[in-house]
Structure 1
Amino acid sequence: MSGRLADISARIDTVHKLESVIKAMRGIAASRVQEANQHLQSVRSYAATIGTGISQVLARVPPADERPNGEGHAIVVFAAEQGFAGGFSDRVFDHVARQFDAKDTFFVVGDRGVSEAAERGWPLGWQAPMVSQPALALGLATRLTDVLFERLAAGAFGSISVVHAAPAVGGADIHVDRLVPFDFDRFPAADDGDALFSLSPTVMLESLVQEYVFAQLAEAALLSFAAENEARMRAMIAAQDNTAETLAQMVATSRQLRQEEITEEILELAVSGLAQS
């Protein structure tokens, strides 16, 4: 009996430690979501400024109607970097599978996503780990923008889309946005006679378009980062509930064993007393 009681007590201690780890992971995830939301405001403000610039340049020169050099399609996919996030990456890739051809070229961000793409046999044109903190999202977006436009100019593909999760009530929504060909209809021409250009309007427009795509990729990275950590929070809440239930059952078992042990000791004392009398 004492052996069983010692064993259940040891297991209770282990569950208490696990409960502490789960609470810590939940707290970290919540903090990361809040930090990502703060960075999102800055990125969206920057994108709005670039959009205003595009509208001003379009008043001077119409966008060139250029055919892409390549015929393929590049898909940028933001997935999870770490585990304990439920089926986060599975949902993203299931959505990609419904929307695109597996023969397209995939630019995958997130180690879990890289593994998922390999399992599905999808060709990877580029891969990178997901950022570990929101402040690194701009650097990731810069690298992505550079490699995408470099290969676009070389004719590796003619269009680019980005797929990412975004926080939503009750879970994450999956967003699909087209980056290239660039949708100029979003930016009505707005002539500002006071605007001064140090570059030709054509060169300026090309630069602003690339900068706007950079902002879109940075926003996608931050939204995916926030959605992944929200998924992790939900997973930790579920784990915490399961742990609490398991702990309650083990504590009840421990009390029962302790009561049985006390009862046995009382019986032994009673039997011993009767024998002596």
Structure 2
Amino acid sequence: MSNSMADLRRKIGTAEDLQSVVRTMKAIAASSVEQYERSVLALQDYYQAIELGLSACFQKEGIATPLHSTTTTGKPKVISAIVFGSDQGLVGQFNDVITDFAVEKLSDVAGELKVWAVGERVHGRLADSGLLLHGLFPVPNSVKGIAALVGQMQIESISDQLDHESTSVFVFHNRPQTGSLYEPVSQRLLPLDSQWKQRLTELQWPTHSRAEILGGHLVTLQSLIHEYLFITLYRACAESLASENASRLAAMQRADKNIDELLETLHTQFHRQRQGSIDEELFDVVSGFDALSS
């Protein structure tokens, strides 16, 4: 009996230590979700401002635009994909969801396929799926690290492809939803063709007074395009990090609930065995007293 109670004490202590770690990770994930969600919300206004600036440039007559044609050049088409995942575990189905989504979308593409993975976990899953991996980027640990990551991605995976009409670049990531949920999404980053220009040209200006372009129109347009590519990747990374921490928070909440249920079961078993031990000792005392009295 004493060995069983000692074993239960050990299990209870281990479960309580594990619960302390889980609750610490849950608090960290909740704090991270908040900062990344604030970052995503702040990016919405800036992203809209960049698109409106491009729209103003395209609606200005006489401005030459460095766009690619949509005609076939005869060269083998190169399809590049950037897939955002995680470096760390305890995120539930986060990496599996985005991997399955990217593999499904890229399975129908024709041409040479190059894939860059952001995160070691998603890198391994993409490799297992049979995709040709061209590079691996680390996942930033904070909002401040996103800009450095995006700059590195622009240098290694995008800068050499801006001048090639036969190149398309797609971005895959998880986008946060309400209630600690997320959904996989994709976006075409390149080429900057007439279809992309037409979409921006048709944007409605939010006020009655349209903005005027000061200085060199081509210089302004090139700067806006650079900012457009940067902020698109930045927003995708921020949304992926917000989704990752939301998934980790949900996983830690489930783990905390399971540990609570386990502790309740262990405490019930411990008190039952302890009460049984007390009853046996009392029975022995009463039996001995009865034997001495008779």
**TM-score scaled by length of structure 2:** 0.85
How far does residue 62 in structure 1 lie from its aligned partner after superposition? 4.5
- 1:187 correspondence with 2:200: yes
Partners of 1:110 and 1:157 in 2: CA distance: 27
What is the CA–CA distance in structure 2 between the aligned matches of 1:30 and 1:214, rounded to whole Å?
Answer: 27
Is structure 2 residue 16 aligned with structure 1 residue 10?
A: no
Output the CA distance in 1 between the equivalents of 2:106 and 2:165.
17
Between 1:258-267 and 1:248-257, the stretch displaced more is 258-267
Change (3 A) 1:226 1:126: same
The answer to whether structure 1 residue 142 and structure 2 residue 128 are counterparts is no
Contact persistence 2:162–2:191 (CA under 8 A)? no
The match for 2:78 among 64, 72, 84 is 72
Deviations, residues 81-103 of structure 1 (Å, cap 9, x unaligned): 21111111000010111111386
Query: Is residue 92 of structure 1 aligned with residue 98 of structure 2?
Result: yes
Deviation at 1:131, TM superposition (A): 1.2
Q: Does 1:82 align with 2:88?
A: yes
CA gap of 1:194–1:219, structure 2 versus 1, over 3 A, is: closer
Write the letter of the residue equivalent to 2:100: D
State the AA in 2 paired with 1:231.
Answer: S
1:143, distance to aligned residue in structure 2 (A): 1.5
Cα pair 1:70 1:156 within 8 Å, conserved: no
1:166–1:175 contact (8 Å) kept in structure 2: yes
Distance, in Å, in 1 between the alignment partners of 2:134 and 2:140 is 19
Aligned ranges for residues 1-277 of structure 1 at < 5 Å?
1-58=1-58, 59=60, 60-67=62-69, 71-101=77-107, 104-153=113-162, 155=164, 158-169=167-178, 171-182=181-192, 183-188=196-201, 194-197=212-215, 199=216, 201-277=217-293
Please give the alpha-carbon distance, in whole angstroms, between the structure 2 residues aligned to 1:258 and 1:36: 49
Task: Quote the Cα distance in structure 1 between the aligned partners of 2:172 and 2:290.
Answer: 80
Instruction: Return the alpha-carbon distance in structure 1 between the equivalents of residues 176 and 125 of structure 2.
Output: 21
Of residues 254-263 and 123-132 in structure 1, the stretch that sits farther from structure 2 once superposed is 123-132
1:105–1:134: structure 2 CA closer, same or farther, 3 Å change rule?
Answer: same
Which shifted more, 255-264 or 143-152? Answer: 143-152
Kindly indicate whether the alpha-carbon contact (under 8 Å) linking 2:92 and 2:248 is maintained by their aligned counterparts in 1: yes
Q: Relative to structure 1, is the Cα distance of residues 148 and 209 closer, same or farther in structure 2, using a 3 angstrom cutoff?
A: farther
Secondary structure of the residue aligned to 1:273 is helix
What letter corresponds to residue 46 of structure 1 in structure 2? Answer: Y
- Residue 47 to residue 86, structure 1, CA distance change in 2 (3 Å): same
- Segment drifting more, 157-166 vs 222-231: 157-166
TM-aligned CA deviation for residue 144 of structure 1: 1.3
What SS class does the counterpart of residue 74 from structure 1 fall into? strand
Q: Which of 232-241 and 114-123 deviates more?
A: 114-123
Deviations 1:236-275 (A, max 9, x none): 1111111111111100000111011101211222333344
Maintained 8 Å contact 2:86/2:119: yes
When the two structures are aligned, how many residues end up with a matched partner? 275
Q: For 1:79 and 1:193, how far apart are their aligned partners in 2?
A: 39
- TM-score normalised per structure 1: 0.90
SS, match of residue 201 in structure 2:
coil
Between stretches 206-215 and 1-10, larger displacement belongs to 206-215
Amino acid corresponding to residue 91 of structure 1 in structure 2: V
Cα drift, residue 123 of structure 1: 1.4
Tell me the amino acid that sits aligned with residue 167 of structure 2.
G
**Given that residues 147 and 234 in structure 2 are in contact (C-alpha distance below 8 angstroms), is that contact kept between their aligned partners in structure 1?**
yes
User: Structure 1 residues 157 and 19, CA, compared in 2 at 3 Å: closer, same or farther?
Assistant: farther
> 1:56: how far off?
3.0
**1:34-80 Cα shifts (integer Å, max 9, x gaps):** 10122223333332332233223221415344348872111111012
Gaps of 5+ in 1: none
Quick one: distance in 2 between partners of 1:23 and 1:62?
A: 57
Evaluate the alpha carbon distance shift between residue 207 and residue 71 of structure 1 in structure 2; reply closer, same or farther with a 3 A threshold.
Answer: farther
